């Protein structure tokens, strides 16, 4: 990756000289020069790695609503102050707290073998240990067809397939149905518990955690456990051999009442249009199995470091740049909904929003969902990002990232700098999401892209409102 | 890997035609033709995958001395009968049984975080839960320098470095000192427990198990736990930040008295010199965290499948080919020592021995430790294996594999077909040693090499005795 760093720094320099004379009116030569300098600085800077190292090492795992997440907010405030943000604050909210507790799961027939599993978010505990025969379903469609109360006393296992690796994460939403709503069919069938193949693209012995979906206002009343892909393969082979399967299960996961969480907000106040907010961010919480390096320590590091580099410019950009470290994302976008509600009155001043929450591999594409003139601005920005290996994507793609959903639903314009997600679902929500998985040079490329594009957007005279 | 298969089958055919006229006297044209056919058959056969799939799926993990290892012996006998071996038997022995039991280990200062660890073989249990300050040692050399009783009430952590990946596994023996004898220094210092960085080349959140060494006749009187490389990195970073570390530990691992184990022995009786034994094999036991696919289901599959292919030839080779599925290798080469003792009287009839116990990646080298004439034979065999990508290695390299050590020490000649070990220590003794890690085409290459070379050795008139 040293090579990538050298190449991109060189390319950044040459494209700048070549385009100097042909600069379009939407971006001034001075702005372009500043953006180019930001990219060069970002590619050589260690700030992003320092931030994600500090967060994962000094705070560790930080489940939404936990004491660790509170420590992370304090850390975020201190970080913002040290990096020269003009205003730093926490906006608190309350939320129900789900605790993973202790789990033990093993195969008991045809023989005793430990399984590598974890409770899914929202799952109920076992009252005492369960030991039950397994009813095997090849996929969630097969389970959806069962009759009510036809699975009494059984542990349901929903198999499925390992996710195919892809740049875009295609296939996650579909595969994730077994994690999201599998419990509704199993519970309707009267099953004692549900076990599902993890949703992930790795063949390692790690379960992938993640939140289930409510059924209306109701959470699952049964334990729901994800097991690793190799464990699911094992059960499938035994099932195909006609072996009767049974599983022993003890899980203490449960809801534990209302707690506090919060969003950390760091502002660089705009020099000309301080009320117009360009919002970037990531989520501060993580699942509790790993240390949340890739999901989403990386997003926190990328957006905070990008804004911090902009903060070092001689002059603030015209618009306000706001970094939001969202709380409690993993457990249902709770910080995002709280933010959208708490800022309901001034959401129309949020002229653009985007989140980094897809790991730290190289950004390859810039998408947007903006008015026609602002779309032309993004076209020009994409050209400036091109030396980083970034191409222009769709100009009417709703998105911006998970925590942006609630405000985008209320009309806030969005862009998205899409990371290569090829390895993302190897690590997603597993114990293996740790600092060593982040490549410093890829992280620096992300920061370069964010710094340049967010600076150009915030400093632009182009109207961004819809 | 389809490509490797096609390439090697093609190369096997062409080298055979090219060398037909120049055949040296040590190997007849007919033998060479048979060896070549064995290689072609092996490259196209699924037998090896079928064996390792059956072992890992139908038996699962099989700790030395366990009920599962007994089921594996029954499986081995039945397999031998079904594959046409002339004689199948189990030779039993007794052994002390160490049970891993339940473990919980977490960081408690500077904050609460689960650690991914496992007890090392031979470790004592915690009497009750321990929660103690951590004394950090950068490596075992630093720990070796401590004064007696200077670590009272502490949990010692021995850091170290991640193993560098290598073809030969170089560095394992040295790195393994902290696993093997680290406890002797920690116990001498009066520590309550020892935690060590796992000996492995992966950066995944898996601990690597493995046996400790006795101090004379004494096993450790303290709990000894290996933690994953990312966990060790985490502790190192916190230590370097000057944070006081403490760890909570509860471990139930302990010795549980004498049990039975055994070696499974499958013979193809020689047609001319039935008393001269060419011994190949692997070990049937595995560590209990994974399903022992790579270590050493692969070795069982490779050697059994190779002999089974030879068994299908119209005529038995001149010498007896014996496949030994050794028991209780991981816990101290117990099956190997039992074999050497039980066969003490006729070890001089064991004219050659070799074991496959280094995974299932491609074999790249053929080493030997034989008399001068037999060495020339091996030189010729290496030429025949060359289309498989195998080169001739040293001609006076003591070895043959772990289970061969006791008989080699008593003078049994050895060869070794060396696998590429690059990924071996990623998986070694972890929960992640599962079937999906074996590449069917690489496994087939192994079987081709074993089948051809063992056939040529067994059918040769060259004297193999020292
Ligand atoms: Zn995320
Ligand atoms: Zn082994």
Average pLDDT, chain B: 95
Distance CA A333, CA A407 (A): 11
- In chain B the domains, ranked by start, together with CATH numbers, are 2-97+258-458 (3.40.630.10), 101-252 (3.50.30.30)
CA of B197 relative to ligand 1 center, distance in Å: 29
Q: Which ligand is closest to the CA of B284, given by its number?
A: 2
Which residues in chain A touch residue B60, judged by CB atoms under 8 angstroms apart? 107, 111, 113, 234
Q: What is the pLDDT along chain A (466 residues), one digit of tens a residue?
A: 444 454 455 555 454 444 444 445 899 999 999 999 999 999 999 999 999 999 999 999 999 999 999 999 999 999 999 999 999 999 999 999 999 999 999 999 999 999 999 999 999 999 899 999 999 999 999 999 999 999 999 999 999 999 999 999 999 999 999 999 999 999 999 999 999 999 999 999 999 999 999 999 999 999 999 999 999 999 999 999 999 999 999 999 999 999 999 999 999 999 999 999 999 999 999 999 999 999 999 999 999 999 999 999 999 999 999 999 999 999 999 999 999 999 999 999 999 999 999 999 999 999 999 999 999 999 999 999 999 999 999 999 988 999 999 999 999 999 999 999 999 999 999 999 999 999 999 999 999 999 999 999 999 999 999 9
CA A11 vs. chain centroid, Å, equals 30
pTM attached to this predicted model: 0.93
Contact criterion met (CB < 8 Å) for B206 and A203: no
Count contacts between A and B (CB, < 8 Å). 92
**Nearby residues for ligand 1 (ion, Cβ within 5 Å):** A 295-296, 357
CA of A116 relative to ligand 1 center, distance in Å: 22
Distance CA A254, CA A122 (A): 7
Q: Is B423 on the interface with A (CB under 8 A)?
A: no
Q: Is A436 on the interface with B (CB under 8 A)?
A: yes
Nearest CA to A41 out of A311, A271, A297 is that of A311
Contact criterion met (CB < 8 Å) for A111 and B203: no
Among candidates B71, B238, B436 on the partner chain, residue whose Cβ is nearest the Cβ of A203: B436
pLDDT score of B358 more than 70: yes
CA of B199 relative to ligand 2 center, distance in Å: 14
- Is the ipTM beyond the 0.90 threshold? yes
> Closest Cα of chain A to B425: distance in Å?
15
Distance CA B162, CA B362 (A): 24
Which residues in chain B touch residue A209, judged by CB atoms under 8 angstroms apart? none
- Which helix (H) or strand (E) segment holds residue B256: the answer is strand B254-268
Q: Report residue B118: phi and psi, to 5°.
A: -155, 150
Contact A280, A307 (CB under 8 A): yes
Q: Is B135 on the interface with A (CB under 8 A)?
A: no
Contact criterion met (CB < 8 Å) for B234 and A434: yes
Distance CA B50, CA B444 (A): 11
pLDDT score of B10 more than 70: no
User: What mean pLDDT is predicted for residues B219-225?
Assistant: 98
Contact criterion met (CB < 8 Å) for A230 and B435: yes
pLDDT at position B107 is 98
Q: Is B244 on the interface with A (CB under 8 A)?
A: no
pLDDT at position B11 is 52
Q: Report the percentage of chain B scoring pLDDT > 70.
A: 95
pLDDT score of B181 more than 50: yes
HEC letters along A213-254: CCECCECCCCCEEEECHHHHHHHHHHHHCCCCCEEEEEECCE
- The per-residue pLDDT for range A283-309, each reduced to its tens digit, is 999 999 999 999 999 999 999 999 999
Residue of chain B whose alpha carbon sits nearest to that of A71: B111
pLDDT at position A25 is 80
pLDDT at position A335 is 98
Sign of the CA dihedral with B40 first, then B45, B51, and B53 last:
positive
Give CA angle at A258 (A252, A263), nearest 5°: 110
- The per-residue pLDDT for range B369-414, each reduced to its tens digit, is 999 999 999 999 999 999 999 999 999 998 999 999 999 999 999 9
pLDDT at position B8 is 52
Contact criterion met (CB < 8 Å) for A60 and B436: no
> Closest Cα of chain B to A116: distance in Å?
9
Contact criterion met (CB < 8 Å) for A205 and B431: yes
**Among A49, A59, A110, A204, the residue to mutate for chain B (most B Cβ within 10 A):** A204
Contact criterion met (CB < 8 Å) for B238 and A57: yes
Q: Is B236 on the interface with A (CB under 8 A)?
A: no
Contacts for B134-137: CB closer than 8 Å, 24+ residues apart? B134/B195, B134/B235, B134/B245, B134/B246, B134/B247, B135/B191, B136/B235, B136/B236, B136/B239, B136/B245
pLDDT at position B1 is 41
CA of B374 relative to ligand 2 center, distance in Å: 28
Neighbours of B447 (CB within 10 A): 31
Distance CA B179, CA B185 (A): 11
Q: Which ligand is closest to the CA of B401, given by its number?
A: 2
> Closest Cα of chain A to B433: distance in Å?
9
Which residues in chain B touch residue A206, judged by CB atoms under 8 angstroms apart? 204-205
- The per-residue pLDDT for range B90-145, each reduced to its tens digit, is 999 999 999 999 999 999 999 999 999 999 999 999 989 999 999 999 999 999 99
Q: Which of residues 45-84 of A touch B (CB under 8 A)?
A: 53, 57-61, 68, 71
- The per-residue pLDDT for range A210-252, each reduced to its tens digit, is 999 999 999 999 999 999 999 999 999 999 999 999 999 999 9
Instruction: For B127-190, give the DSSP string.
Output: SS-EEEEEEEESSHHHHHTPPTT-STTPEEEE---PPPP-SS-TTHHHHTHHHHHHHHHHHHTT
Q: Is B118 on the interface with A (CB under 8 A)?
A: no
Contact criterion met (CB < 8 Å) for B435 and A53: no
Which residues in chain B touch residue A436, judged by CB atoms under 8 angstroms apart? 203, 229-230, 233
Among candidates A57, A113, A436 on the partner chain, residue whose Cβ is nearest the Cβ of B61: A113
């Amino acid at each position: 990756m040293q090579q990538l760093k050298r190449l991109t720094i060189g390319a950044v320099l040459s494209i700048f000289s070549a385009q100097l004379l042909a600069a379009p009116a939407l971006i001034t030569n001075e702005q372009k020069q500043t953006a180019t300098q930001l990219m060069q600085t970002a590619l050589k800077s260690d700030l992003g790695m320092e931030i994600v190292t500090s967060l994962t090492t000094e705070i560790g795992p930080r489940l939404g609503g936990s004491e660790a997440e509170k420590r992370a907010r304090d850390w975020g405030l201190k970080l913002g102050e040290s990096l020269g943000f003009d205003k730093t604050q926490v906006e608190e909210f309350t939320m129900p707290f789900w605790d993973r507790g202790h789990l033990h799961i093993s195969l008991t027939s045809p023989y005793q073998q430990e399984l590598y599993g974890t409770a899914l978010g929202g799952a109920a505990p076992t009252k005492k240990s369960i030991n039950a025969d397994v009813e095997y379903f090849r996929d969630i469609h097969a389970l959806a067809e069962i009759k009510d109360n036809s699975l009494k006393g059984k542990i349901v296992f929903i198999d499925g397939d390992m996710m195919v690796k892809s740049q875009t994460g295609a296939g996650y939403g579909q595969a994730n149905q077994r994690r999201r709503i599998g419990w509704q069919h199993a519970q309707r069938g009267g099953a004692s518990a549900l076990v599902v193949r993890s949703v992930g693209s790795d063949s390692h012995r790690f379960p992938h955690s993640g939140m289930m979906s409510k059924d209306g206002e109701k959470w699952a009343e049964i334990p729901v456990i994800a097991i690793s892909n190799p464990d699911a393969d094992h059960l499938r082979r035994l099932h195909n051999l006609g072996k009767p399967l049974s599983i022993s299960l003890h899980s203490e996961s449960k809801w534990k009442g209302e707690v506090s969480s919060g969003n950390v907000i760091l502002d660089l106040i705009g020099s000309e249009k301080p009320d117009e907010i360009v919002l970037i961010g990531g989520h501060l919480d993580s699942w509790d199995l790993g240390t949340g390096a890739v999901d989403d320590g990386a997003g926190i590091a990328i957006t905070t470091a990008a804004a911090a580099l902009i903060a070092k410019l001689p002059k603030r950009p015209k618009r306000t740049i706001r970094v939001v470290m969202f709380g409690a994302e993993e457990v249902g976008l709770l910080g995002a909904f709280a933010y959208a509600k708490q800022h309901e009155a001034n959401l129309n001043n949020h002229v653009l929003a985007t989140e980094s929450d897809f790991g730290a591999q190289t950004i390859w594409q810039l998408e947007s969902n903006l008015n026609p003139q602002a779309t032309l601005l993004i076209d020009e920005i994409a050209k400036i990002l091109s030396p980083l290996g970034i191409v222009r994507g769709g100009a009417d793609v709703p998105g911006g990232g998970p925590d942006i959903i609630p405000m985008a639903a209320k009309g806030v314009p969005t862009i998205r700098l899409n990371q290569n997600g090829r390895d993302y679902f190897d690590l997603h929500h597993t114990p293996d999401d740790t600092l060593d998985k982040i490549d410093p040079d890829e992280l620096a490329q992300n920061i370069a892209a964010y710094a340049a594009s967010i600076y150009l957007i915030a400093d632009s005279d182009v109207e961004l409102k819809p």
